Amino acid sequence: MQKLSTVPSTLIVAGFHALSEPLRLQVLDLLREQELCVCDLCEALEVTQSKLSFHLKALKEANLVRTRQSGRWIYYSLNLVQFVVLEQYLAEFRRFSPIVPAINC
């Protein structure tokens, strides 16, 4: 795994940008269980392939998903290494800041 200081900031930005879209989060939730092909994702999410392809491209460019071709089908799965990179990026803020306890109202 890459050290955080060697990860291009564009990859961090792309990761958080990809996570900012609700449909992309739904895709990621479905991929938690198993790898899926586009047709299965379209059916589960009730969206057209053209709409989903746009979002899958953003997830792939952010390195959040991997692809595997089998025959004429492309299967998508999570790239957990990239999620760890984003998690470590956020952890750096926690490391240098005191955690403020919640205020009870």
Who wins on pLDDT, 6 or 43? 43
pLDDT for 39: 94
Give domain limits for the chain.
Answer: 8-93
Mean pLDDT over 2-8 rounds to: 60
What is the share, in percent, of the chain residues with pLDDT greater than 90? 70
Residue by residue, DSSP assigns 73-101 as EEEEEE-HHHHHHHHHHHHHHHHHSPPPP
Q: Helix or strand or coil: residue 48?
A: coil
Q: Are 66 and 80 in contact (CB under 8 A)?
A: no
Q: Are 27 and 41 in contact (CB under 8 A)?
A: yes
Q: How high is the mean pLDDT of the chain?
A: 88
Determine the topology of domain 8-93 in CATH.
Arc Repressor Mutant, subunit A (1.10.10)
Residues 54-104 have pLDDT tens digits of: 999 999 999 999 999 999 999 999 999 999 999 999 888 777 666 666 566
